[in-house]
Each structure stands twice: as structure tokens, then as C-alpha cells.
Amino acid sequence: MQPASVHWDIFCRIVDNYGDIGVTWRLARQLAAEYAIPVRLWVDDLHAFRQIRPELDCNATTQFLQGVEIRHWATPLPPTEPGSVVIEALACDLPDSFILAMADESPPPIWINLEYLSAEKWVQGVHGLPSPHPRLPLMKHFFMPGYTPGTGGLTRETWLYDARDEFQRDLTAQSRFWAGLGLTNKEERHFRISLFSYESASLAGLLTACGEGNQVIDLLVPMGKAVPQIAAWFGAVDARAGTTWQRGKLTAHVLPMLSQDDYDRLLWACDFNFVRGEDSFVRAQFAGRPLIWQAYRQEENAHLDKLTAFLGLYLADLPPDTAALVRAVWQSWNREEDIHALWPDWIDALPTLSAHARAWATQLAEKNDLASNLVKFINKLLKSRAF
């Protein structure tokens, strides 16, 4: 038996898309930068990781980025000494050999199961609960991200709001950003909307509504799942980054997948944003701009419960008519219905929605962030062991 090494191990298995690594990388980077914690981040698919962190070397088994040691999580995992804290991100199931090595430490590492984000009420009841290993002398604790007191909070870097405000004030920085994407400056009367979504039967109705509306709209679509359907709507077959299509009042620009920090800038710069999954959803809330969320589809429509729970919090301070409109638009988008008929009202409501989005972002900033809650939680566990 030996004492665990001081570093923290975070494990991330990429199930699909970018949310697993998006959430995990963001937390790892913040723990290293703001708490000087030596973090070792294990990732099974470096190619997917590289999409949001282009400087990553996919062939390196070990590399350092922004103070985080990144290790390729190979199977089987080579013999590895566990850190003092082990975070199993998004229920990714640690390798058996690593769990045995954890049980061999004295004291064993603090073991955290970092779960998916949900606004549902049950989250508060599960947050922080211990779960003993059935055979080994190990204890795992649930850590639940969330919006309300009694949950783990949301990952929010200390620099985020200052950087956002500075960028939103600085027209030169915005011009540089647009130019870097091959776009001209945003014209006062045009709407710029970013669209990050899964494939959806609602897309055609949205595009038709944008094309036929009174408003000139630039739709900015990072390369990904929605692009082939959008190309088909414009009658195009080839869809790559840099392509532009135009029909009626709508112009769509296909963007490359951006680095995570540039994606934040895109959210800050657009009039409003379509987002999905978990991490882009939270970042769009922090952007302080109106948003339409597409929840990650789950069995038995469990994602619709998540949607309802979030709307219950998000709409609480809106006038009833506007709240009903947001509910109708978000629900239709998630049920893959045609949102065409709701679109003109949505566009008209944008001034109210913008003020509300800003106020919501301010409310979120009044709460403790996930990294600080996590560090506190772990310190408390360590203290309770000392006696």
C-alpha cells in the first residue's frame, strides 16, 4: 500500500459528438489554471478532441496543453499510479486494472462520478451521495452539475464574463473575428444566427421561414450533422467549410468547426444561437443572447423531461405571452415539428428575449461555479478522512 500521488486523474470516453470531451476538457483546463492542480486527462479518442482543440497531436500518447497533461486512454491501460483524486466523467467506466490500483492505495483516492447536467429536481437529491464499491474498499461520490442550490453548479471560468463583455463592446475585435471566418462585418439590420444542431425534421421549416421572412438573415453553420440537410434544402450536393448559399432573405455560410474559444466568440457575436447537447447549451446561456436548445435525444423521450425542467427555471421571469412562445418554439424544435408558423413571433420577441437572456446570464454568475464547488467538496472529504 502506498499514498496516492497528488495529481488528479480525469477520465473521458467520447461516446459520440463533442459534448463529453467539451465538458471534460473545460473542467480540466480550469482546475489547472485557476487552482494550480496537476491534472492528468485521459481521453480515448484524440481525433474527436482535436476538432475542438486543433493544436492537439493525435499521435502523442502524452502531451501538455494549457497546463493539463493529456494522455491517450489506450485499451488496455498500461500500469498507472492513480492520483489523489479520480474523476470518472459522464459515467465513462474506469478500467478494472485502474480500479484495482486505486484500491491498493492508502488512503485510496477520492473517487468522483461527474454526471450529465440536468435541471430536473431529483438532481439535488443525488448530488454528493456516496456509493460504496461492491467488493473493494473504495467509495465513489456522485457530483451532479445543475442550476439550483444543492447541486454542483455549472462550469464557468473566472475570466469568462469579462472576456465576453470586452468582446461584445469591441467592434474592432468583432470585425477581426468575422474576417477570420471569411465574413464581412455584421450589418445593423441583418440578423446573424449560429446553428449547431443534430439532424432534424424541423430544419426545412426553419430555413423556409428564414427565406420567406421580412428579415435579412445570415445563418452560420459550423461543419457537422445539420449541414447535409441544409445543403439539400438549397439544392446543393457539395457541403464544405467556406460554402455560401442564398435563397430569399436567407444566406447560409458553412463554417469550419471552430476551436472551443472561437466558438464562444461566435455565440457572443451572434444575435441569437441554436445550440444542442450540454456544453454549447451552457455556453450560449453565458453568452447572454437568446437561444434555442436541441436536447440530446434519449430513450423514451427522457430529454423532453430535461427540456421541461429547464424551461420551468428559465421562463419564470418572462411575461406569460413570451414564456408561452419560447416554450412552444423550443418544444416544437425538440419534437422535430415545423416551427415555420411560430417564427415571425419569435423574431418580433427578440428585444424582450435579449434582455431576458442577459438577465439570466447575470443570475447564473451569482452562483458558485462547478470547479469551485468540486474543489470545496473534495477538500471536505479529505478533511473528514483526516480524523
**Residue closer to ligand TRH, measured from CB, 218 or 279:** 279
**Residue closer to ligand TRH, measured from CB, 194 or 208:** 194
Q: Is 369 in the site for ligand TRH (CB under 6 A)?
A: no
- Choices 169-177, 232-240, 278-286, 329-337; region in contact with ligand TRH by CB under 6 A: 278-286
Omega before 107 within 30 of 0, i.e. cis: yes
Catalytic entry in 45, 278, 279, 369: 278
Q: Is 197 in the site for ligand TRH (CB under 6 A)?
A: no
307 grid coordinates: 427540456
* Contacts to ligand TRH from residues 135-174, by CB under 6 A: none
CB contact set of 360 (below 8 Å; sequence gap of 6+): 285, 288, 314
CB 349 within 8 A of CB 325: yes
**Residue closer to ligand TRH, measured from CB, 280 or 373:** 280
Q: Is 280 in the site for ligand TRH (CB under 6 A)?
A: yes
Q: Is 163 left (phi over 0), alpha (psi -120 to 50) or beta?
A: alpha
Beta strands 83-89 and 110-114 are: parallel
Nearest to 333 by CA among 148, 237, 197: 197
**Residue closer to ligand TRH, measured from CB, 27 or 325:** 27
* Contacts to ligand TRH from residues 296-315, by CB under 6 A: 296
Q: Is 20 in the site for ligand TRH (CB under 6 A)?
A: yes
Instruction: Check if 300 is active-site.
Output: no
- Choices 12-20, 132-140, 171-179, 317-325; region in contact with ligand TRH by CB under 6 A: 12-20
**Residue closer to ligand TRH, measured from CB, 16 or 96:** 16
Q: Write down the residue that cell numbers 412552444 correspond to.
A: 328
Count CA atoms within 13 Å of residue 212 on its CB side: 10
Site string for ligand TRH, 39-68 (x = CB under 6 A): -------------x----------------
Q: Is 18 in the site for ligand TRH (CB under 6 A)?
A: yes
**Exposure letters 57-80 (e unless 16+ CB within 10 A, then b):** eeeeeebebeebbbbbbeeebeee
Q: Is 201 exposed, middle or buried (0-12, 13-18, 19+ CB in 10 A)?
A: exposed
- Choices 32-40, 136-144, 270-278, 316-324; region in contact with ligand TRH by CB under 6 A: 270-278
- Choices 106-114, 171-179, 256-264, 329-337; region in contact with ligand TRH by CB under 6 A: 256-264
Q: At what angle do helices 350-365 and 320-334 cross, to 10 degrees?
A: 90
Instruction: Check if 20 is active-site.
Output: yes
Q: What is the C-alpha to C-alpha distance for residues 227 and 30, in angstroms, rounded to an integer?
A: 32
Give the residue numbers annotated as catalytic, written as ranges: 20, 278
In the complex, the residues that contact ligand TRH under the rule CB under 6 A are: 15-20, 22, 52, 196, 222, 257-260, 263, 276-281, 296
